[in-house]
Amino acid sequence: MLEGIDMERLPVHIAIIMDGNGRWAQKKGLPRVRGHKAGMEAIRKTVKCCSDLGIKILTVYAFSTENWKRPQDEVNYLMNLLVEYMRKEVSSLHKNKVKIKLLGEIDILPHQTRREIEEAVKLTKNNKGLQFNIALNYGGRAEILKACKSLIQDIQNGNLDMNSVDEAVFSNYLYTGSDPDPDLIIRTSGEQRISNFLLWQGAYSELLFIDRLWPDFDENALYRAIKEYQSRNRRFGALK
């Protein structure tokens, strides 16, 4: 229900750790990958709903740098699912003015997955609607390390003065660039941990852990999350 949401105080940036696909499938006696497939529909609904609400940025955690540890079959399935998602969704995303951006190391992804994503990013790059960040082969620590390396390189090359490096300058070296930090980070499935997601950017994010498994996430769950966010008192270390 939209009722009760203050449209003037929407979170600018919502980030989601989409967890619980495997358990969703197991509960139904299905193979884990069926949960990933069902999770794709939840992504579709969530993107549409954020876009309709006028949320500026939605970031979803699709595959972590640690998820390579899973069985090869599951990894392959996830990589192919991304290709399928892009092929199915990209034209309607584009029509809805969604701008797709990738957070993560794309170089080592299977060729097909990489190509499909690069094309979607290119096609939608000038869109002015919802910015849809897909964190893929993403890890917060790897991101920070990569940022440090390129920052040092710029200092060594004489392109950057070390004394000018502040938090804003450093942030620009991260995948998120000049995107505002997430106001709200939602994790589904009942797990209460951050699992290497947006470690720098999430310094002052409101965290919301919900029991629902990702494939069961829908518009109403999103509305409830936004209402919960609006009931929080964000202080950023000050008094209020």
Contacts of range 65-70, beta carbons closer than 8 Å, 24 or more positions apart? 65/104, 65/105, 65/137, 65/138, 65/139, 65/142, 65/196, 66/139, 66/195, 66/196
Contact partner, 173, from ligand IPE, Mg ion, none, Cβ < 5-8 Å per class:
none
Min dist CB 81 to ligand IPE, Å, is: 9
19 binds ligand IPE, rule: CB under 6 A:
yes
Tokens representing 115 are 């190509």
Nearer to ligand IPE, 10 or 133 (CB): 133
210 binds Mg ion, rule: CB under 5 A:
no
CA distances from 119 to 79, 115, 226 (A): 15, 6, 32
195 binds ligand IPE, rule: CB under 6 A:
yes
Nearest to 132 by CA among 144, 145, 123: 123
Does the active-site annotation cover 19? yes
175 binds ligand IPE, rule: CB under 6 A:
no
Nearer to ligand IPE, 62 or 221 (CB): 62
Site string for ligand IPE, 60-89 (x = CB under 6 A): -xxxx--x----------x-----------
Per-residue buried b or exposed e for 20-33, using 16+ beta carbons within 10 Å of the residue's own CB: bbbbbbeeeeeebb
DSSP 172: T
51 binds ligand IPE, rule: CB under 6 A:
no
Does the active-site annotation cover 21? no
Q: Which residue matches tokens 């090359």?
A: 157
What residues make contact with ligand IPE under the rule CB under 6 A? 17-23, 61-64, 67, 78, 189, 191, 193, 195, 214
